[in-house]
Structure 1
Amino acid sequence: MTRVVVVDDQTLIRQGIRGLLEVADIDVVGEADDGRAALAVVAETTPDVILLDLRMPRFDGIWTLERLRAADVDIPVLVLTTFDDDELVLAALRAGARGYLLKDVTLDQLTRAIRTLADGGTLIAPSITDRMLRAIRSGPSPVGPPGGHVPGLTEREQEVLRLVAQGYSNREIAEVLFLAEGTVKNHISTILTKLGARDRTNAVLRALHEGILD
């Protein structure tokens, strides 16, 4: 069973999400009302996915993402918020979020997103994807080394990156491309190095900005 920590400053929202997820056979192993409390709960419970609101008093979602990254906590974070502001979306992704959904999603969409992240994939709400891509293409490169130089990816690495961009997990990529899962992990490690990206989501952002992916 997938294990989740829910981080939201509103008690009713947390309780509602817990009740819905438990009906869907997802185990809510902890709750927190701000980022500082979230760090403690995550350290204690080591969930498969962190479900994170962005706008919270005191220690908000971006603060939480940055602290998790600084502590090398490799637990995927799915942002679940009412805010679809372009700058906030990009800030969350740059800070390390692997997924971004709005709170108007259905239970089925939410559970599928949680399981996708738990399985190594990424997911961004389709309703904000077009605006996000326009912002990436019109602004400075979101990740990567100074100067913007991106070493070329091999054809196989581009195939892997396209599937990563579509939210495929390592296992699913291996099945589609008839590769060993360890080989896929090696390809992804090489892609991250070449793109100067710290994780899969930032690799996709970098590749979109540089025109490697369309």
Structure 2
Amino acid sequence: MTEKTSPGLLRLMLVDDHPVVRQGLRAVFGSFDDIEVVAEAGDGAQALQLLRVTEVDCVLMDLQMPGVDGVTATRQITALPDGPAVLVLTTYDSDADIIAAVDAGASGYLLKDAAPELIMDAARRAARGESALAPEVADRLKHRTRSSQTLTRREVEILELLAGGATNRAMAKELFISEATVKTHLVHIFDKLGVDNRTTAVATARERRLIR
């Protein structure tokens, strides 16, 4: 990641599949003298193409997009030599989304209803190589890390599939594991959530915002 060493112009790329959202963000950022939106993309693939020919300090990345989604694009962008920072700006705030984005290398995670000043401060910090997580996101990650009953990423994946109505066989096929392994994960999930059946597991996970 390239760090900014001077308080000069901050170059942003907006990545969102909704043109109206990008237009609104561009209008908001236009009120800041030290910020310039230098590129826009409708999905992760287009963002990666533009980064080959555009100098960017920070990418504001949506998560749910057709084609290359935000998590995949974030992982690919942060793997680039001297690639820009990625600040996730989304409407989704489940633990599964947050963890996936942070694991992919995102420097920050904010919701789209955040104040413009907060978004700009986060973008500046991300471009300097600092963490730029929203306070509530940071608190949730801290609590999750400290909890002895934390679900693993694979267990969250199992719960997501379970919520979609997948059978053990379907989950095994989707995750390239055996049905016996799926059953083992379910036992651990039930124990951690304090439940004894699939329906209650999904309901509890949604209530605790572990899945969407």
Question: TM class, shorter-chain normalised?
Answer: 0.5 to 0.7
Aligned residue pairs, count: 142
Q: 1:132 aligns with which of 127, 138, 141?
A: 141
Name the residue aligned to 2:10.
Answer: 2
The answer to whether the aligner puts 1:56 opposite 2:72 as a matched pair is no
Name the residue aligned to 2:91.
Answer: 82
How far the C-alpha of 1:73 sits from its partner, in A, is 4.8
Q: Distance in 2 between matches of 1:59 and 1:19?
A: 26
Q: What is the letter of the counterpart of residue 54 of structure 1?
A: L
Name the residue aligned to 2:36.
Answer: 27
How far the C-alpha of 1:140 sits from its partner, in A, is 7.5
How far the C-alpha of 1:61 sits from its partner, in A, is 0.4
Q: 2:56 aligns with which of 20, 28, 47?
A: 47
| CA radius of gyration, larger in | 2
Name the TM-score, length of structure 2 as normaliser: 0.63
Name the residue aligned to 2:25.
Answer: 17
Q: Which 5+ residue runs of structure 2 have no aligned equivalent?
A: 1-8, 154-212
Q: Distance in 2 between matches of 1:116 and 1:89?
A: 18
CA distances 1:120-157 after superposition (whole Å, capped 9, x unpaired): 21111112222222222334799xxxxxxxxxxxxxxx
Contact 2:78–2:85 (8 Å) recurs in 1: no
Q: What is the letter of the counterpart of residue 24 of structure 2?
A: G
CA RMSD of aligned residues (A): 1.8
Name the residue aligned to 1:162.
Answer: none
The answer to whether the aligner puts 1:93 opposite 2:102 as a matched pair is yes
Name the residue aligned to 1:112.
Answer: 121
Q: Distance in 2 between matches of 1:55 and 1:30?
A: 19
Q: What is the letter of the counterpart of residue 74 of structure 1?
A: G
Q: Which 5+ residue runs of structure 1 have no aligned equivalent?
A: 143-214
Q: Distance in 2 between matches of 1:127 and 1:81?
A: 14
How far the C-alpha of 1:75 sits from its partner, in A, is 1.1
State the secondary structure of the residue aligned to 2:60: strand
